[in-house]
Amino acid sequence: MREHDVRWWGALAVAAVVAGVVFVAPLRSQAGRAAPEIPGALAGPGAPLDKAAEKWVAQTLKAMTLDEQIGQLLFPSFNAVFTSADTDVFEKKIRLARDLHVGGFHTFGGAELMPPLLLDANYGGASAGRKGDPYAAAALLNRFQRESKVPLLTSADFEGGVGYILNGGTRLPRAMALGAARDPDLAFRAGQLSASEGRALGVTVDFYPVVDVNNNPRNPIINIRSFGEDVALVSELGRAYIRGIHAGGMLATAKHFPGHGDTATDTHLGLALIAHPRSRLDAVELPPFAAAIAGGVDAVMSSHIMLPALDPTPGLPATLSRPILTGLLRGEMKFQGLVFTDSMGMWAVSRTFTPDKAAAMAVAAGADCILDSPDDEAAFRGIKAAVESGEIPASQIAQSVERILRAKARLGLHRERSVDLSQLETKLGGRARTAVAEELCARGLTLIKDDRNQVPLRLPRQASVAYLSVVDYASGWREGAPSRSFIPALKERWPNVTAAEITDRTTADEIDLVREIVKRSDAVVVGIFVRVASYSGRMDLSPAQIALVDWLSTLDRPVIAVAFGNPYAVSAVPKLPAVLLAYDVFDSMEVAAVRALAGETPIGGRLPIALPGLFPVGHGLMRPARTSQ
């Protein structure tokens, strides 16, 4: 689409959906080609089922007791790790599937218990996230399906592809890198690849795309998970990603309704507030959701955010608000699909409301699916008590269950609910899928500064290069150590590389040593790693790290920085002469950055967000690939 067409569609989408008009604009890539129709792709939630599926839905719903219907609203979670049948964890999950009649399961990766010790940055207490195992995920999902009377909906947060939470799956860049590439075809391909790998595992619902408009530079939890801050761009790429997920055979989810982008609070840690008037919400937060609805999105996930313009009740997040979930989403925006809560274990809800009360309030507000309750059996009791007291009509429960059953029928789960584990080795990862990930990474790289015309880096192979891995903090790296792929890739091109890591705990003496190493080098490459992670509450470099990077900027030799993760972090080091933004932190992105610095691939990304005081949305310096190496 041309730029004015994109803006026109973003404004039209919300008006059309609120008015009850379904308008679907054609998606186009940068070359102007319409996105292809995919045979066998899933249709939206309003599409009719075939006669056999309609009969299955009707007969299944009619045969359900009230307890079985309430169970369908619950979506507990599990970790995708080997789990012996002779464990409390295994028995609890089986009981939820067999006896509580839950509607589905959400797939997490792994978790490792950590001791709550002071003065040790490597632990931090509670648990640390780890990637899970795809065979464990598929085997457990198959077992849950066998134990369940009704087929289960199964979900996962494939925000960076299956490889984001499971080892062996293809790891794709998250949304902001796609926003920098500005090509709907790439978003479509990412969604299709994620969904095809997910279905091979037995996962049927992707909690993606994030269609929040990230216009707050201090947002610690949405950030690179958003396509950017341009409303029309977020709307268009979100629709393309949804089409891709459908083409891969999964259901897509738009999150976090009604918009999580303009807050500086991580709702895993506290209750956020967006105090904008309704007119601003109509112009910025709501259009991407309206576009997603018009594009046939299957589910919408609520956010744990207060929005007084939509519901003035003090301390009440959108997840528990009937004016927001029923009045706005169902009523004004005419959404017919499933409404999932965000995780009910997040502190924005769980520190104020007990599991039974929170579940009942969410259902009363209009949620169909209670996700990841801290206590699923308590949630069941809370919902049932609310139905028996008349707080929640039994007819509302039946309506939600019908939506859930229809979603299961659209996926064909009434015909086949298990997957073949012997096929996983051919359906996950591999060279061809990795090549797609590498293309997505390369296309999003954005050169925002090159004051000395140093990119690509022009150095003889024998030059000495100092590489500094500047890391926000040393603990919690669930996807492997930062720079583990950057350093080998750099050494392939310039073998004489001396690499050092600088964290928030690097001492002054160690920094002095780094300065001496740098003084003896012919060029300096800096990798800046600032993560966007739930429960972290952190998104900055330390004062000592900033001081070191500022000093590097004064050197009379090539100094090039690559920012991985939070792009706003570079605002703290504006003196850097050359800066390349990579938006995400994983192996393929590190390799793509080195190839771009070496001139082996072109650089063509443009900022999907503004960097306050530095550069506007759309800024980016273009660099062609070198014709000879």
Least confident range of 19-28, 30-39, 144-153, 326-335: 19-28
Contacts for 502 with CB less than 8 Å, ≥ 6 apart: 468, 469, 470, 471, 510, 511, 514, 545, 548
Q: What is the pLDDT of residues 577-590, one digit of tens each?
A: 999 999 999 999 99
Domains of the chain: 3-112+123-427 (3.20.20.300), 445-597 (3.40.50.1700)
Distance of CA 69 to the CA centre of its chain: 30
Report pLDDT for 531: 85
Report pLDDT for 448: 98
Token pair of 558, please?
Answer: 């090539």
Q: What is the pLDDT of residues 334-349, one digit of tens each?
A: 999 999 999 999 988 9
Average pLDDT, integer, range 498-503: 96
Average pLDDT score over the chain: 90
Whether 273 and 221 have beta carbons less than 8 Å apart is answered as no
Report pLDDT for 122: 60
Token pair of 571, please?
Answer: 């605002």
Report pLDDT for 20: 36
From residue 570, give the alpha-carbon distance in Å to each of 113, 380, 514, 590, 615: 33, 47, 21, 17, 11
Confidence check: pLDDT of 268 > 70 = no
Q: What is the torsion angle, in degrees rounded to the nearest 10, for the CA atoms of residue 337, residue 341, residue 342 and residue 347?
A: 170
Residue 480: band (very low, low, confident or very high) from pLDDT cuts 50, 70, 90 = confident
Report pLDDT for 263: 85
Whether 318 and 302 have beta carbons less than 8 Å apart is answered as yes
Average pLDDT, integer, range 479-496: 94
- Among 442, 444, 421, smallest CA distance to 599 is for 442
pTM: 0.91
Average pLDDT, integer, range 362-388: 98
Residue 124: band (very low, low, confident or very high) from pLDDT cuts 50, 70, 90 = low
593: helix, strand or coil: helix
Report pLDDT for 38: 53
619 torsion bin: left (phi>0), alpha (psi -120 to 50), beta (else): beta
Average pLDDT, integer, range 506-517: 96
Q: What is the pLDDT of residues 285-298, one digit of tens each?
A: 999 999 999 999 99
Helix 543-552 crosses helix 508-519 at what angle (to 10 degrees)? 10
Residue 111: band (very low, low, confident or very high) from pLDDT cuts 50, 70, 90 = confident
Give catalytic residues, as residue numbers: 268, 342
Report pLDDT for 13: 42
578: helix, strand or coil: strand
Task: Return the residue matching tokens 């300096």.
Answer: 524
Whether 499 and 471 have beta carbons less than 8 Å apart is answered as no
Confidence check: pLDDT of 428 > 70 = yes
Q: What is the pLDDT of residues 195-233, one digit of tens each?
A: 999 999 999 999 999 999 999 998 888 999 999 999 999
Confidence check: pLDDT of 18 > 80 = no
Report pLDDT for 393: 98
Q: How many residues make up the chain in this entry?
A: 629
Report pLDDT for 628: 57
The CA-to-CA distance between both ends of the chain, in Å, stands at: 35
Compute the distance between CA of residue 577 and CA of residue 535 in angstroms, rounded to an integer.
33
Confidence check: pLDDT of 21 > 90 = no
Report pLDDT for 130: 86
Report pLDDT for 415: 97
Residue 30: band (very low, low, confident or very high) from pLDDT cuts 50, 70, 90 = very low
Confidence check: pLDDT of 160 > 70 = yes
Token pair of 124, please?
Answer: 């931090």
17: helix, strand or coil: helix
